[in-house]
Structure 1
Amino acid sequence: MCWSATADLVAGTGIAVIGAACVARVRRVRDLPLAALPLLLGAHQIIESVIWRSGGGTGPATLAWAVIALPVLPLWVALGVLCAAPPQARRRLLIPIVAAVATAVPLAYSLATRPVTAEIRGHTLGYALDLPRSGLLVTGYLLATVGALLLSGDPVLRSLGALAAVGAVVCAALWRLESVSTWCAFAAVCSVILLVRTRPDPVPEP
């Protein structure tokens, strides 16, 4: 997520503040799940700052990080997009919803039956969990998250999906090099986009 405990803590706190502002500005109940997404992302990074400071390994913080990252996030994004999307887009969003469920269930089962560990690798944290059919799970995960945003029928959410796709590629490449983890920067930008989406409509002049 970020390259150090301090970076995770600062970024997580800032993103959570943006999330609180998004929730406060929501005008439609059906927009609430997506508006609250930065709160989840912020909490996720704050949890990772605890993992950094503990030197990695197993434990409640590592498990909490994995639960949010693996089964919770694809379901949250897919359902949030379904709630916020215009009616004409909801039928095609059933595909990401099915992908989210099909991905989250085996991920949750793996977390319940197998240990997850974190390891500090330079300026990144690596997480290890024995996953069956990991390629299929990654495909389903991306369809549930990036795919849902791209299929949303909402111009702002489509832009968010494109940004998330680029961010996933860039962050994965840097993470594999074990040079630096940059997902927190993309999470911050995505949170700002959601904040813009929840801005109040301008008051018409009399």
Structure 2
Amino acid sequence: MCWSAQADTVAGGVVVVVGVACLVRVHRAGRPERLLLAAVPLVLGLHQLIEALVWLGTDGGLSAAPAAAARTAWAVIALPLLPVLVPAGVWSASAGPRRRLLAAFTLLGAGVAVPFAVAVAARPVAAAVHGHTLGYAVGIPHPAALTAGYFLATVGSLLASGDRLLRRLGLVIGAGAVVCALLWRLAFASTWCALAALAALLLLRWAGHSPDAEPGRRITHPAP
């Protein structure tokens, strides 16, 4: 997700700290329904630390077995886990009639995750340096369709949320993913770690945010 093992280690460590802070905020606020989504930054941080090991495996700094395990762990988080975790987290944190729509996004994410999981389990995950980026080979069938489903399940669920902060996060991730993908294709640098850090900070703010504090929302108090 970053352009070197060192960058992945530093960025991953920072995002892990933010992820722990997210979980602490949710716990202190007494909002267990937000735990799934609040765990996303911690998962992203661990993902970056795992990729630091993948970098080491590409230049011989890590022996074959640990390097292969790191590549597989990276693929498991990136492919089957995140398209389920994100929409499920948004669904869990939401209330009211939107939950039906968000449940549909969660089912879409689960449907996308199945072929991803099968591909990861069927053959070894390969990784190679491509300029200042890492390229992974997993052997995914119908990659364009699955990528579209992945994007719709994750970004779509955030945009469909009734929470303005989550909608803002969806816009940031959607636009940021396009920019990161273009830079990665040019082999200029992998900037996914910067997007992960930004998403983690936005989720940290959301973790301590109360929907009742939204501007323009009418708050009624019981009569004394």
Q: Smaller-chain TM-score range? A: over 0.9
Asked if 1:185 is matched to 2:204, the reply is no
Counterpart residue number, 1:142: 151
User: How high is the TM-score relative to the length of structure 2?
Assistant: 0.87
Task: Report % sequence identity.
Answer: 50
Q: Which residue of 2 aligns with 1:128?
A: 137
Partners of 2:129 and 2:135 within 8 A in 1: yes
Separation in structure 1 between the aligned mates of residue 36 and residue 102 of structure 2, nearest angstrom: 16
- Measure, in 2, the Cα distance between the counterparts of 1:200 and 1:115: 42
Q: Is the 8 A contact 1:86 1:154 kept in 2?
A: no
Name the SS of the counterpart of 1:127 in structure 2.
strand
Which amino acid is the alignment partner of residue 33 of structure 2?
R
Give 1:25's aligned residue.
25
Find the residue that maps to 2:139 and give its secondary structure.
coil
Q: Secondary structure at the match of 1:120?
A: strand
Q: Does 1:35 align with 2:44?
A: no
| Distance in 2 of aligned mates of 1:158 and 1:200 | 14
Deviations 1:29-54 (A, max 9, x none): 00011111110000000000011112
Three-state SS of the structure 2 residue aligned to 1:79 is: helix
Unaligned runs of 5+ in 2: 214-224
Paired residues in the alignment total 202
Gaps of 5+ in 1: none
Which of 96, 109, 121 is the aligned partner of 2:118?
Answer: 109
Shift of 1:152: 1.1
- Residues 1-206 of structure 1 correspond to what in structure 2 (within 5 A)? 1-26=1-26, 27=29, 28-55=31-58, 59-199=68-208
Q: Is the 8 A contact 2:88 2:103 kept in 1?
A: no
What secondary structure does 1:118 align onto?
strand
- Which region of structure 1 is more displaced relative to structure 2, 191-200 or 154-163? 191-200
Give 1:114 shift: 2.0
Distance in 2 of aligned mates of 1:155 and 1:47: 32
Q: Is the 8 A contact 2:68 2:124 kept in 1?
A: no
Give the superposition deviation at 1:200: 6.3
- Supply the AA of the counterpart residue of 1:12: G
Letter in 1 for 2:25: R
Which one-letter code corresponds to 1:126 in the other structure? G
For 1:158 and 1:72, how far apart are their aligned partners in 2?
A: 21
In structure 2, the CA distance between the partners of 1:153 and 1:200, relative to structure 1 (3 Å rule), is: closer
Contact 1:25–1:200 (CA under 8 A) maintained in structure 2: no
Q: Secondary structure at the match of 2:161?
A: coil
Q: Distance in 1 between matches of 2:109 and 2:204?
A: 24
Is contact 1:151–1:158 with CA below 8 Å preserved after alignment? yes
- Distance (Å, rounded) in 2 between the aligned partners of 1:54 and 1:92: 42
